[in-house]
Each structure stands twice: as C-alpha cells, then as structure tokens.
Amino acid sequence: MVKKIRVLVAKPGLDGHDRGAKIVARALRDAGMEVVYTGLHQTAEQIVNTAIQEDVDVVGLSLLSGAHMTLFIDVALLLKEKQMDDVLVVGGGIIPQEDIPGLKKAGISEVFGPGTPVEDIVSYIKKNVKR
Amino acid sequence: MVEKETIKNIREKRADWEKQKYSKAIQENPERKPKFKNLSDIEIKNLYTPVDIADLRYLKDVGFPGEEPFLRGVHPNLYRGRLWTMRQFAGFGSAEETNKRYHYLLEHGETGLSVAFDYPTLYGYDTDHPLARGEFGKCGVAISSLRDMEFLFHGIPLDKITTSMTINGPAAIVWAMYIANAENQGIKKDTIGGTIQNDILKEYIAQKSYIFPPEPSMRLIVDTFEYGFKNVPKWNTISISGYHIREAGSTAVQELAFTLGDGIEYVKAAMERGLSIDDFAPRLSFFFNAHNDFFEEIAKYRAARKIWAQEMKKLGAKKPRSLWMRFHTQTAGCSLTAQQPEMNIVRVTMQALAAVLGGTQSLHTNSMDEALALPSEKAVRIALRTQQIIAEESGVTDTVDPLGGSYYIEWLTSKMEEETYKYFDKVERLGGVIPAIEKGFFQREIAESAYRYQKETDENKRIIVGVNRYKLDEETSIPILKMDEKGEERQINRLKKLRTERDAIKVQKYLQRLRKAAEGDENLMPFILDCIHSYATLGETCDVLREVFGEYKEQAIY
C-alpha cells in the first residue's frame, strides 16, 4: 500500500482569514491526503511541534495579513533547526510578487496567490513531496 | 400590485409566450447553461412579469421611502438630499503614516473616515507584545494608546467629520481612546459622531478577531449601547456586519440572514439588561458586502431593511427611527483578482453601483491592488473617484430606489426575505445564535458555500475574468504600497517613553478599579475611560479584562 501524504495546514500569527486554509485543507483531503489543520493563532513553535508530532511530509502556511516575511520565514528556519529539512514547505495568501524570491530563499518551496486553482496545489505537492 | 383579472390574463399570455415564442427561440439559440442561478443558488427565471409579484400589496409590503416597512429606503428623499458618505477604510504602519493618508483622502473629496487597525490592535495587544511579531502596521494602523490616537487624528476636526472604526474585541477601549482624544481637545462627547464595529458575534462566526468568550463580550457591547445613548448620542455603538461573513465565503442569503439574526440577538441582550429598545435601537447600524451578482445584491439591501423593520416592531420598538436599517457597504474584497488587477476597477464600479441602487448610507470602494497588498495612493484615489463618478455623473441618484417596481427586483427581494426567515427558523431550533455558534453551525454553512464557490471556479462553471478565462500569458504588474520601515521602531520607542513618562500610580489605580468593576456588574465604560485618560495602554487595559473574563478559543472546523 502506498503511504498517504501527510499535510499540516497551518495559520501562523494573529491573522483570522481562514477561508483559503480551510478550502485547501478540504481539497487536499479530497485528493487523498491526510490533513491536519492547526486552527488559528499559531506560533512558529506550535506549528513546528505539531509538524514533528504528526510526522507530516508537508507544511502549508496560509497568511493574508501581510506578515509573511516574518512568520513564514520563522517557521521555515525553525523546521531547519529541528532537522526537518525533508518536509516540503509551501505558502499562500496575499503575497506580493516581489516577496516571493525572499521566501523561496528561506525554504518556502512555492507560493500560491489568489486565484490559484486548488488542483495546482494538489499536483505541486504530489510532484514535490520529499519523503 | 396588479388587479386579479389582469394577473390572470398575463399568466395565460405568458404561458403562450413560453410555448410559442420562447421554445422556438431556444431551438435557434440554445441556452448557455442548463440552469441560471445567482450566488445564493437561487434559480433565476427567463422572464419576470406582474405574475411573479402578484402577492405583493404595494402599500403594505413595499410602501414609500421613509415609511414602513422601509423597503424602499429609510429616508424619503435619499440621495436627492444628501449623498452617501464616501468613507474609505484605511490604515497602515504607524499613526503618523495613516494620518497622512486621511488628509490625502479628505483633500480628494472623501466625506468620512474609516480606520483599519493592525492585527495586534484588533486582538488588544500592544505593538511590543511577543504575539505581535511581524504584524506591526501590516493590515492596518497600530494603536497602542491614547498617544497614538492623538497622532492618528492630528489636524482632523473631530466635531465635524465622522469616523468609523473597525474594532471588535477591544471596541470599548478603542472607542474610549477616541472619546478621550476629543475631550482633551475640548470637544464635547455629545457632538462627536461615528461608528464602532463592536460586533463580536460575526467575529466568532467569520472574522475571528475575538478576545473574550461570548458572555462577557455581550456585556461589554451592551455597556457601550447604554453609555452611548446617554453620553455620546450621535455615535453608532455597533455596526452589525455581514461583510466578513460574506468574505469568509457565505452566500448573499446567508450574509443577510446571519447578520440580521446577530442584530436581533444584540437587541435581546440589551433588553434583558433592562434597556428600553427605543433608547438604543436608533444607534444600531449595519454593514454589508457588495459582491458580483448585481441584482442579487440590490435585492439583499432592500430585503434587509424590510426584515429589520418587521423584527424590531415585533420586539416592541415604537419610534420610527428604531426600525431603520441604516448601513455601510464595502465592495467585495474577496472578488478582487491578483491577475490583471486593473480589471478590479470595473468590478468595483459595478459593485458600488449595486450598493447605491440598494440605498447605502455610506460606501467604501476597494482599490484595484488589494489582492496584492494594501492600496497605494493612486489606487485608492481611483477607488474614491469611482464613487464620485457614480454620484455626480451617472444620474442614478436622481430618484429614490430607482429599481423599485421591477418585477425581477421585487420578486428577488421577496425571495431573499423568504430564505432569510428559513435560516431564522433553523437557528431558533439550534437554541439561538450563541448556541449555534458553539455548535459550529454558521462556520460549517459558510465553509460549505466557500468550498462550492471555489469548486465551481476551478471547474470553470463560474467564470472569473483573467483567472479562469481571458488570461494573459504575461501577467501585468502594478506598483504597490511601500511602508516606512522605521515605523515599528518609532512606535515601540513611543510606547516605552509613554510608560516611563505617565503617572504610573494613577495608571495602576485605574486598572485596579476596572478589574473590580469587571468582577461585578457595573457599566465598564467610565472605568475604561479613566484608564485611557491616564494613558494605560490598550494591552494593559485588555489584559485586566482577559484576566477577569478569560479568552475565547474556537474549534477549528473545515
């Protein structure tokens, strides 16, 4: 039997916009993945701890408040620190084009903006999951 | 609204038309879709005639603007007298930066202010709180104390301009800052006007910037109602909001039903406290979304006015003003596309027109760049100009409720009303609004609609120009807002300085008094005002209440 891809959908920081995170969580589940959704208001430590405990293959971060350059990067760095380099990290939200190179450099593999079909996220994860 | 005999004739003729003309026409030009539905999933007929509104009695069910059931408007002469307030939601970075934007907007013809706060402020944290990390000034302005409020409104005449503040969990505290700032300038409380959003129920349901559990939150809200009508009589002490419910993914019907349901809940809570409905009801206001389906939105506003008037009467309101459903509208942020962003100007224009044809009292038009970042100066000016063009050039303001009497609009208005009452019944069966929130009813309903909308878009059943059709190979790019990078440092320094300069003993004394009052059942507004006047910060004041009231945690449902 093929192991199911395990994904943590996480909402870092104070942002309350959870429409996208919930849609993506549901779409990934419908695509046959095992999804854990953190709920709102998570610190980087909480997200990384959950990722370790749940032994996930993918962390999907969602943020629409504009604090992605701090909060996404916090999570990516902490994952590295905990030797979780083989976890695929992706992000989505209201993210200007010019911020994307910086996020990628920090370890966010891909960034999905408004208007992304959920199918694109599903296939990206399937293609790029590292473990 | 038409005689029975005529209705009978029209019904017969319509059947003939359907059989002879329409069926032939669709053989030649088959319909583009098997069914035509609006965003609330209501099926739209090919044609509306007097038959569809045969049950409506004009005088009783529709009536005149300024008269019950207020379906056609709360004011008899609407925009012929005074245009809606052009009120652009704005805030970013520090108080100084946002103050500059307010002056810019006012210079360009804006007629009211609307404050967007950053996330730490919305949750009642000061800028230097650990949980505020990365969020300073990002999606609104950071206001940690009365000092910041002074900078925010520098040079703005608080007795002349009205201000709306999108603040909920800590609404009472931020309102106290506004009042205190006015008082310090020698402006009397009873002359200032504006709105605090102060609608916690939709926070639990959709927007999620709550702090305290429902019970103490409702207490704080009723405290502001009571304090307001006694001391700040021109202030709208709540803006019962469907906007965020819609942005979270609800349909128009759900937005309408959940919002009015929340409104009724607040009225009941205030009456349970012993307040008289006609004392506080005139200061209740509403806030709706203007989404893409043009006629559906117009019908929504019209239905909202009628349902509210009916329900307020049932609750015992006697003053006509208590029956008024006055509302602000914002065009739908969630409808903006990051692709070909200039096209958002067109979307916003149509959405804004729907709000005006629905009789809005004030309006925010989104800027074209808001699917990417906070709006640039140019983008926000175009958004404001859009309102000015509708107001000054289009002619839609020349008569009151211009679409009244349209068979389609009147039918749809009635249909929205009917669907709303179905939701009222469902919520009633769940034990009321708060039990329904605790059971996750609204959250599930909204998540379901949001998922359906996304699926329809992904499957190309719903066309979004530039997103799933008419795409460009090379995306256009537009310049976006750059914030002052030194803002956060300046803000934190100001906060540190404030904490050393103020009278610490006085601050502690007032915070202690607030704690005692919170443990009892007195109205907390005077105690909060004392804290704020002594320059207790937002975080300090909120922490006292957090300790007494506890914090709300939601169950994550998707």
pLDDT of amino acid B61 = 97
Sign of CA dihedral A19, A24, A30, A35: negative
Asked if A67 and A114 count as a contact pair (C-beta separation under 8 A), the reply is no
Residues B369 and B479: their CA atoms lie apart, in Å, by 8
Residues B374 and A65: their CA atoms lie apart, in Å, by 10
Flag if B338 and A14 touch (Cβ within 8 Å). no
What CATH number should be reported for the domain holding residue B303? 3.20.20.240
Residue type at B254 in one-letter notation: Q
Judge if B498 and B410 occupy the same domain.
no
Flag if A69 and B374 touch (Cβ within 8 Å). no
Judge if B500 and B427 occupy the same domain.
no
Judge if B400 and B535 occupy the same domain.
no
Confirm whether B426 is domain-assigned: yes
pLDDT of amino acid B1 = 74
Q: CB neighbours of B428 closer than 8 A, spacing ≥ 6?
A: none
pLDDT of amino acid A1 = 61
DSSP state of B465: B
Confirm whether B13 is domain-assigned: no
pLDDT at B386 over 80: yes
What CATH superfamily is the domain A6-128?
Answer: Cobalamin-binding domain (3.40.50.280)
**pLDDT digit string (tens) for B309-365?**
999 999 999 999 999 999 999 999 999 999 999 999 999 999 999 999 999 999 999
Number of folded domains that form chain B: 2
Judge if B366 and B450 occupy the same domain.
yes
pLDDT of amino acid B90 = 97
**Cα distances (angstroms) measured from residue B542 to each of A92, B15, B207:** 31, 65, 19
Closest CA to B113 of B143, B153, B170: B153
pLDDT of amino acid B482 = 84
Flag if A115 and B247 touch (Cβ within 8 Å). no
Q: Which of A8, A18, A62 to mutate to test the interface with B (most CBs of B within 10 A)?
A: A18
Interface predicted TM-score of the whole assembly (ipTM), two decimals: 0.94
With contacts defined as CB-CB under 8 Å, which chain A residues touch B119? 13-15, 65, 67
DSSP state of B58: I
What is the extent of the structural domain holding B242?
60-79+86-333+342-458
**Cα distances (angstroms) measured from residue B535 to each of B105, B166, B333, B337:** 29, 22, 35, 42
Confirm whether B109 is domain-assigned: yes
Please give, rounded to a whole number of angstroms, the shortest distance from the CA of B39 to a CA of chain A: 17
Flag if B371 and A94 touch (Cβ within 8 Å). yes
**pLDDT digit string (tens) for B203-262?**
999 999 999 999 999 999 999 999 999 999 999 999 999 999 999 999 999 999 999 999
Flag if B134 and A21 touch (Cβ within 8 Å). no
pLDDT at B474 over 90: no
Residues B434 and B240: their CA atoms lie apart, in Å, by 15
Mean pLDDT value across residues B279-288: 98
Residues B133 and B501: their CA atoms lie apart, in Å, by 25
DSSP state of B143: -
Nearest to A14 among B131, B247, B557 (CB): B131
Residues B59 and B503: their CA atoms lie apart, in Å, by 63
Judge if B402 and B524 occupy the same domain.
no
Judge if B352 and B261 occupy the same domain.
yes
pTM: 0.97
With contacts defined as CB-CB under 8 Å, which chain B residues touch A26? 447, 451, 558
The token duo for B113 is: 């202010």
pLDDT at B503 over 90: yes
Flag if A14 and B554 touch (Cβ within 8 Å). no
The token duo for B258 is: 């959940």
Half-sphere exposure of B142 (CA within 13 A, CB side): 27
**pLDDT digit string (tens) for B18-38?**
999 999 999 999 999 999 999
Confirm whether B431 is domain-assigned: yes
Confirm whether B399 is domain-assigned: yes
pLDDT of amino acid B295 = 98
Domain ranges of chain A: 6-128
Please give, rounded to a whole number of angstroms, the shortest distance from the CA of B515 to a CA of chain A: 26
**pLDDT digit string (tens) for B85-141?**
999 999 999 999 999 999 999 999 999 999 999 999 999 999 999 999 999 999 999
pLDDT at B476 over 80: no
Judged on CB neighbours under 10 Å (0-12, 13-18, 19+), B384 is buried
Q: Which residue has the tokens 């953190």?
A: A38
Please give, rounded to a whole number of angstroms, the shortest distance from the CA of B337 to a CA of chain A: 7
pLDDT of amino acid A64 = 96
Q: At what angle do helices B487-501 and B95-107 cross, to 10 degrees?
A: 110
Flag if A40 and B556 touch (Cβ within 8 Å). yes
Q: What is the largest CA-CA distance in chain A?
A: 42
Q: Of B416, B440, B458, which residue is a domain's last? A: B458
Flag if B338 and A113 touch (Cβ within 8 Å). yes
**pLDDT digit string (tens) for B42-84?**
999 999 999 999 999 999 999 999 999 999 999 999 999 999 9
- Minimum Cα–Cα distance from B448: chain A residue: A23
Q: Which of B117, B119, B344, B374 to mutate to test the interface with A (most CBs of A within 10 A)?
A: B119
Confirm whether B210 is domain-assigned: yes
With contacts defined as CB-CB under 8 Å, which chain B residues touch A94? 371-373
- Minimum Cα–Cα distance from A96: chain B residue: B372
Confirm whether B103 is domain-assigned: yes
pLDDT at B557 over 90: no
**pLDDT digit string (tens) for A77-104?**
999 999 999 999 999 999 999 999 999 9
Q: Of B407, B442, B458, which residue is a domain's last? A: B458
Flag if B556 and A37 touch (Cβ within 8 Å). yes
Residue type at B367 in one-letter notation: S
Provide φ and ψ at B472, rounded to 5°: -105, 145
Coil, strand, or helix at residue B54? coil
Interface of B with A (CB under 8 A): 119-120, 122-123, 125, 131-135, 138-139, 203, 207-209, 247-249, 334, 336-339, 371-374, 447, 450-451, 454, 457-458, 464, 466-468, 477, 480, 554-558
Facing residues of B43 across strands? Answer: B37
Confirm whether B3 is domain-assigned: no
